[in-house]
Amino acid sequence: MTNDTPPRTPATPVTARGARPADSPYWDPALETQSREDWAAMKLELLKESLAHAYANAPYYRRSFDEAGVHPDDVTSLTDLARFPTIDKSVLRERQTAAPLLGDLAAVPEEEVVYVSASSGSTGVPTVSPFTAEDFEAWMDYEARQFWSSGLRPSDRYAHSLNFSLFIGGPCVLGAQKIGALSIHAGTVPSERLLSILETFQATAMWTTPSYAWYLGETALAKGIDPKTDLAIKKIFVAGEPGGSIPETRARIEALWGADVYDYYGLSDIFGACAGMCEEKDGLHWAEDHIHVEVIDPETGEPVAPGGRGEMVLTTLKKRARPLVRFRTGDIVSFNEDTCGCGRTSMRLMGVHGRLDDMLVIRGVNIFPSDVEAIVRQDHDFTGEYRLIVTRENHLDTLTVEAEKIHGFNGTDDELAARLKSGIKTKTGVGAAVTILPAETLPRETHKAKRVDDRRGQVWTA
Ligand SMILES: [Zn+2]
């Protein structure tokens, strides 16, 4: 298969600045506005080619396809993919241990790999994500397209405030550089240092996590710097937590900074951003020419109806180094395939409602931390910081929500607690106990905030 693969058109190198006029609304107009039928036809061709590449060159896929009795040549429609076996993070970890360094899902020799990212995950065993030079260029072209859709332009000064150490989000700065923005490789530095960088360079855009954007804004205010007037930030890209797609959370960060907030979605095993909001901020445009999406019922594995909530399963369409075929992300999502107000026709991720890992089942009812977040962030008597604690007493699960009231709140705690309790009940159907805490009691997380303290396991070990 490798030998008769048609030559690919190389993407513009990251060192070459894209020659788009700044008033062009699209990075790649023909691609971004093509009909849904053209998307489907394009994806089917790419899928067939990618499955054939995986089968021919990755020992793991040859084995697993053979065992499942499926073959790339049998694929005649996108729905045929559902007959192929799924994989998940534990497969990546296991195959990497079995066949170091890259695992036997890799489909090129190591000599062709020019970049790796690694993610530690909760077990502490890092999984490695490899890219060929062609994969890397294609990725950066996508990042450039995504930044362009969010309104980033050559006149911007862009501060990339993500981790550069093996983190898949690090290289995304080259996408901003590719569109011609002045790119500041800020990295994850102490808040005072970052504020000083933003001030010195008068940066107009930055990328961080939602909880850190919030924390940084509060830190600035505490130092007498008003982010709205003393800094030049007009665009904030956020990723890594559900908050960026929760309108109430976005609105509060936007008000704090006087800036627009765009949610981005990335996955350590594929791209730093696989999707991001355009200037309409109505869902995240998906990298549909790179990654095919299925949404399935996590229990049965059956596809959910279009627009419905389910687990996101991803298949890469162009990645040569390590194709992923039906990778179960554990993210609970929904998608919209209508044409966006911006004119783009790619499917839009309407938010990650939660991680299967974060989903709490309280007396048979599903609840995500993001459900509670939407409530505490729209009520301005709360600081916006909160935590969920789950305990089990007499074999019954009990949810307690701790939320901070603002300084100077002049009502009673009971009244505030009753309001939150009723909001949670209405939104989720779960009856929660609520504890009101003074402002600044809960720990401020500078990066990924830990919102759930599940103590149910401790009942049996105590
Ligand atoms: Zn759009």
SS3 assignment for 79-135: HHHHHCCCECHHHHHHHHHHCCCCCCCCCCCHHHEEEEEEECCCCCCCEEEEEEHHH
Digit-coded pLDDT (tens) for 179-237: 999 999 999 999 999 999 999 999 999 999 888 999 999 999 999 999 999 999 999 99
Distance (angstroms) between ligand 1 centre and the Cα of 335 equals 13
Query: 320: buried, middle or exposed (CB in 10 Å: 19+, 13-18, 0-12)?
Result: buried
Distance (angstroms) between ligand 1 centre and the Cα of 243 equals 19
pLDDT at 13: 55
Distance (angstroms) between ligand 1 centre and the Cα of 25 equals 10
Distance (angstroms) between ligand 1 centre and the Cα of 344 equals 5
Are 300 and 35 in contact, with CB atoms under 8 Å apart? no
pLDDT at 350: 93
Distance (angstroms) between ligand 1 centre and the Cα of 373 equals 25
Distance (angstroms) between ligand 1 centre and the Cα of 435 equals 40
pLDDT at 2: 46
With a CB cutoff of 8 Å and minimum separation 6, the contacts of 421 are 431, 432, 433, 434
Distance (angstroms) between ligand 1 centre and the Cα of 340 equals 5
- Domain residue limits, the chain: 1-16+27-356, 360-461
Distance (angstroms) between ligand 1 centre and the Cα of 265 equals 15
d(CA 343, CA 59): 42
Distance (angstroms) between ligand 1 centre and the Cα of 317 equals 22
Distance (angstroms) between ligand 1 centre and the Cα of 328 equals 26
pTM: 0.81
- Which pairs from 186-190 meet CB under 8 Å and 24+ separation? 186/159, 186/160, 186/161, 187/160, 187/161, 187/162, 187/163, 188/161, 188/162, 188/163, 188/164, 188/447, 189/161
Distance (angstroms) between ligand 1 centre and the Cα of 333 equals 18
Distance (angstroms) between ligand 1 centre and the Cα of 99 equals 42
Distance (angstroms) between ligand 1 centre and the Cα of 369 equals 27
Distance (angstroms) between ligand 1 centre and the Cα of 172 equals 20
Digit-coded pLDDT (tens) for 99-146: 999 999 999 999 999 999 998 654 556 889 999 999 999 999 999 999
- Which pairs from 437-444 meet CB under 8 Å and 24+ separation? 437/402, 437/403, 437/404, 437/405, 438/404, 438/405, 439/383, 439/404, 439/405, 439/406, 439/407, 440/383, 440/404, 441/404, 442/385, 442/386, 442/387, 442/402, 442/404, 444/215, 444/218, 444/385
Homologous superfamily of domain range 360-461:
ANL, C-terminal domain (3.30.300.30)
pLDDT at 4: 54
d(CA 219, CA 269): 33
pLDDT at 178: 95
Distance (angstroms) between ligand 1 centre and the Cα of 144 equals 15
Distance (angstroms) between ligand 1 centre and the Cα of 279 equals 7
Distance (angstroms) between ligand 1 centre and the Cα of 101 equals 39
Distance (angstroms) between ligand 1 centre and the Cα of 449 equals 28
Distance (angstroms) between ligand 1 centre and the Cα of 176 equals 19
pLDDT at 456: 75
Distance (angstroms) between ligand 1 centre and the Cα of 336 equals 11
Q: Near ion ligand 1, which residues have CB within 5 Å? A: 278, 280, 340, 342, 344
Distance (angstroms) between ligand 1 centre and the Cα of 137 equals 24
Question: What parts of the chain have a pLDDT lower than 50?
Answer: 1-3, 122, 458-462
pLDDT at 349: 97
Distance (angstroms) between ligand 1 centre and the Cα of 80 equals 29
User: Do 1-16+27-356 and 360-461 come out as alike in CATH topology?
Assistant: no
Distance (angstroms) between ligand 1 centre and the Cα of 278 equals 5
pLDDT at 387: 92
d(CA 44, CA 81): 10
| 1-16+27-356 CATH pick, 3.50.7.10, 3.30.300.10, 3.40.50.12780, 3.40.50.300 | 3.40.50.12780
Are 137 and 157 in contact, with CB atoms under 8 Å apart? no
Distance (angstroms) between ligand 1 centre and the Cα of 30 equals 15
Distance (angstroms) between ligand 1 centre and the Cα of 149 equals 7
Radius of gyration over every alpha carbon of the chain, rounded to an integer in angstroms = 23
Distance (angstroms) between ligand 1 centre and the Cα of 35 equals 14
pLDDT at 95: 95
